[in-house]
Structure 1
Amino acid sequence: MKPKHLFYALLFTIAIVSCKSTQQVITQTPTKDISNFEKLASIKNVVSIEKKEPTSHFDENYELWFEQPVDHNDASKGTFRQRVFLGYESQNLPVIVELRGYGIGSESAGELAAHYKANQLSIEHRYFNNSRPDAIDWNTLTVKNAAKDQTNIINAIRDAIFPNAKFVTTGISKGCQTTMAHRRFFPNNVDASVCYVGPLNYKREDPRVYQFLKTVATKEDRDKVKAFQNLCFENRVALLQLMKDEATKKNMSWEFGAQKAIDYTILEYSFAFWQWGISVSSIPPQDVSVENIYKHLIDVVGYGFFEEKAVDDLQPYFWAALTEQGIYGYETAPFKTYLNTEEIYKFDWALPEGISKEYNLKPMQEIKSFLDNSAEKMLFIYGEYDAWSATAVELTSTAKNRELYKFVKPKGDHRTRIKSFSTETQQSIYNIIDGWIEN
């Protein structure tokens, strides 16, 4: 549900102060001390603002909605509203800008803001949750338009409250991709960036993923993963019936049908297994019941990547992945006995209905060139066993001269954060970031 419209008149006139379910109109007289609420309300393209209950270490917490152009190169396409949270602590402290690759899931402080007891600005990605126009022109969902969204918001918040503060962008997974793209298009908009577990894909179905799955961890562990997938295909008919039964109970459906859904789920198992750091010891033995096979399969893969309602929610992700940011496919050759094909299974079906678009290689290649040649003050965090590390950023020999760093957690997964590393490595990471925000 969209938040209530809480607009304002001009600065020094009437401010609408909202706290949870109550709203109070207060007439302000000019004073030297202008509240943060008033400063934020005076921002030209802020169309709604609500003061929320404080969270984490923040003294103040605000939800704002910015009016943004649907297309920054064509004003005739109209506008949409973009959701932002600001956790305020002090105008003299750094501002950690969380660039979400999806919607905003929490107002709480992330790892960096919590560590530094700093301010936090969280920006929802265009077209996720309610940050979207009523009718989406999918061709306007580009990494460049998103980067411009973020720059507009950062500039406005900086000018209003933090003119002298250091700004550090950060993002996780697709948020890491978002952070890289923002720096590529607006390299000087912030002082530094910390990117977590984000891929940099060079093709729509990047084949490096297939090679990763053939070499990750030990052969013994990989063989156990493959054996479980074989076990699933051997019990495919029974698993399909269990999936149909669950679909009836939970009102689920699949655009490409349940039969394809069970195949895609089994094929996704190996990627999800390594992505989320599942223990090999959790893999069921070969003589387990079909119910336990199904339970483990769904525990690892879930329904949220293929089920129709989930795909609708993730439509902006699939559009971005299939048109600019890349994804992966599924090799079927290892399962030819069961699938009777060696064709790569792809995600074409996940494009919006009735729309298709060729994949554009240029944006990710431009990010690679930026990182290779001119990017400065960026730090990358990865987990060694995370399947998305297959297409992790690779730094050049000159990277350190430009203060680019990469830390890989041995055997780490997609949940790898700075806190995942040894105390010594954590200190090394924070020493780098300290230098960026203190100078």
Structure 2
Amino acid sequence: MRTKVLPSLFCAGLIAATSVLTGSAATAAPTAGSAARAAAETDATSIREKLERVEGLRIVSETQKEGRPFFTLTLRQPIDHQNPRRGSYEQQFTLWHKDEAAPTVHYTGGYTLSSSTRELTTLLGANQVSVEHRFFGKSVPAGKVDWSKLTIQQEAADEHNIVRALKKIYRAKWLGTGASKGGMTQVYHERFYPQDLDAVVAYVAPNDADNRDDHVYDDFFRTVGTPECRTALDAVQREMLVRRKSLLPLFEATAKEQGLTFKQLGTTDRAYEFSVLDQVWNFWQSGSSTNCPTVPDAKKATDQELYTWSLDHGLSIYSDADAGPEGSGPYYRQAAAQLGWADLKFKHLRDVRNYPDIYQPNSLLPADMRTSYSGWDAKDVDRWVKTRGERMMFVYGQNDPWSAERYRPSRHDSHLYVAPGSNHGALISKLVPEQRAEAEAAVKRWAGVK
């Protein structure tokens, strides 16, 4: 059910070489390091002055990252781009400046702000702009939030404004990127503003074009890994519900220890079932086949052994803190309204489930955030990517549940790759050597980098 932001990829950046010349303090020549710092300070001053001239932009802070200027910024955005008179909010983003002449990587994780170095940024030696999604984190309007304005179109318009503003400074190529929900966000940006970006690289981006037909996810769980591993995982998941009465107190103890409540889901029993339903999904999303030998024998394991292993391997507890407006609630709102969700059949659990309709995003939302689903937008974007999208790359993980339902790119200089054995952390660097070289060459060509 959840689609979390990928683990950050920390990469080495530019490091200025230094050398110390011998001589007295009075006659010593400037070191290469001091010259580099002076140049960096001059560059930072120049960029800061240009940023200050951008209408609606505010510099929140300035520091350095790997010796280059790093700014935290906000841009004043309409709450409703169709009716700007309805008010505005400040959308938070960061800028890691390398060189005005270098390409720029435009990144969103799809949730709160993450400014960690992205794979494309390292590959291209690029500037990086990292955007916080509207209505997440600090990018929230004052007062009561109108959740009807949390749409893929409104966020695309937000990002369009940021790109348009910064293109006055950075005039080289722009590449959009993101992973999971962030990858989806970049696809939507490209769909509605295809002139903004020169290319898009989306990692593990789900594409629920038909929310009524999710058989591909059930097919995935019938084929992922080995038969032995699948059987063992299904048995553990089933046993967790068979032993509900004896395991629920352990679940309640964990919730009490962590201060978790379940007002949205209704009862602890409902929360327990919801968490168990997501267990196998989370095992494959974040783990790998190397974890399969650790799966316990469901029939022989004690209650404590079964619960402890599950808690460490996919039993993710969904609570009010996670599901509300300040947690993942905005994502669940988007899933319920436009993005869709994986509606699994759970055939092996039918006779041990108490709440057959619980596995859907509205179950996790407060009443004022719940909504009805419209599939028109997902179908429109899917069709556009297939037929009209240009210079788009999709990277998926072979063992990632979210990668089961994929975007299918057009023939217009676009590509799809699958990283063997990878989960929701799939990267270009995890492709087989031939495909990695091909993908990196395409990215460099799109960015105008040799």
TM, length-normalised to structure 2: 0.84
Change (3 A) 1:353 1:341: closer
For 1:46 and 1:345, the matched residues in 2 are separated by 41
Write the deviation string for residues 196-224 of structure 1: whole angstroms up to 9, x where unpaired: 00101024465132232223333332211
What is the match of residue 374 of structure 1?
A: 388
Judge conservation of contact 1:269–1:300 (CA < 8 Å) in 2: yes
For 1:224 and 1:110, the matched residues in 2 are separated by 36
Secondary structure in structure 2 of the residue aligned to 1:391: coil
What is the match of residue 226 of structure 1?
A: 234
For 1:317 and 1:377, the matched residues in 2 are separated by 27
Judge conservation of contact 2:108–2:131 (CA < 8 Å) in 1: yes
What is the match of residue 154 of structure 2?
A: 145
Report the residue type matching 2:319 in the other structure. Answer: E
| Superposed displacement of residue 264, structure 1 | 1.2
Write the deviation string for residues 109-159 of structure 1: whole angstroms up to 9, x where unpaired: 211112222110101100110101122100000000000000100110111
> How many residues of Structure 1 are paired with residues of Structure 2 in the alignment?
399
What is the match of residue 254 of structure 2?
A: 246
| Superposed displacement of residue 419, structure 1 | 1.7
Secondary structure in structure 1 of the residue aligned to 2:222: helix
What is the match of residue 167 of structure 2?
A: 158
Report the residue type matching 2:182 in the other structure. Answer: G
What is the match of residue 423 of structure 2?
A: 413
Change (3 A) 1:243 1:346: same
What is the match of residue 171 of structure 1?
A: 178
Tell whether 2:113 aligns with 1:99.
Answer: no
What is the match of residue 27 of structure 1?
A: none
| Superposed displacement of residue 293, structure 1 | 1.4
| Superposed displacement of residue 341, structure 1 | 7.1
What is the match of residue 80 of structure 2?
A: 71
Tell whether 2:181 aligns with 1:200.
Answer: no
What is the match of residue 333 of structure 1?
A: 347
For 2:207 and 2:305, the matched residues in 1 are separated by 36
Map of 1:293-372 to 2, 5 A cutoff?
Answer: 293-303=306-316, 306-312=318-324, 313-339=327-353, 345-372=359-386
Map of 1:67-146 to 2, 5 A cutoff?
Answer: 67-105=76-114, 107-134=115-142, 135-146=144-155
Tell whether 2:249 aligns with 1:237.
Answer: no
Report the residue type matching 2:402 in the other structure. Answer: W
For 1:337 and 1:231, the matched residues in 2 are separated by 12
For 1:108 and 1:372, the matched residues in 2 are separated by 31
Secondary structure in structure 2 of the residue aligned to 1:293: helix
Q: Which residue of 22, 37, 50 corresponds with 1:39?
A: 50
Judge conservation of contact 2:276–2:315 (CA < 8 Å) in 1: no
Judge conservation of contact 2:333–2:369 (CA < 8 Å) in 1: no
Change (3 A) 1:46 1:32: closer
Q: Which residue of 247, 250, 273 corresponds with 1:263?
A: 273
For 2:89 and 2:443, the matched residues in 1 are separated by 34
Change (3 A) 1:233 1:321: same
What is the match of residue 22 of structure 1?
A: none
For 2:188 and 2:361, the matched residues in 1 are separated by 23
Write the deviation string for residues 285-314 of structure 1: whole angstroms up to 9, x where unpaired: 23223222112222233545x211011111
Judge conservation of contact 2:329–2:364 (CA < 8 Å) in 1: yes
For 1:75 and 1:437, the matched residues in 2 are separated by 34
Judge conservation of contact 1:329–1:344 (CA < 8 Å) in 2: no
Judge conservation of contact 2:109–2:180 (CA < 8 Å) in 1: no
Tell whether 2:58 aligns with 1:50.
Answer: no
C-alpha RMSD of the superposition? 2.1
| Superposed displacement of residue 331, structure 1 | 2.5
Change (3 A) 1:222 1:50: same
Gaps of 5+ in 2: 1-41
Judge conservation of contact 2:394–2:417 (CA < 8 Å) in 1: yes
Secondary structure in structure 1 of the residue aligned to 2:396: strand
Report the residue type matching 2:146 in the other structure. Answer: D
For 1:263 and 1:108, the matched residues in 2 are separated by 35
Change (3 A) 1:140 1:33: closer
Q: Which residue of 189, 193, 197 corresponds with 2:196?
A: 189
Gaps of 5+ in 1: 1-30
For 1:365 and 1:289, the matched residues in 2 are separated by 47
Judge conservation of contact 1:192–1:376 (CA < 8 Å) in 2: yes
Change (3 A) 1:100 1:157: same
Judge conservation of contact 1:70–1:77 (CA < 8 Å) in 2: yes
| Superposed displacement of residue 354, structure 1 | 3.3
What is the match of residue 4 of structure 1?
A: none
Judge conservation of contact 1:332–1:341 (CA < 8 Å) in 2: no
Report the residue type matching 1:308 in the other structure. Answer: D
Secondary structure in structure 1 of the residue aligned to 2:418: strand
Identity %: 26
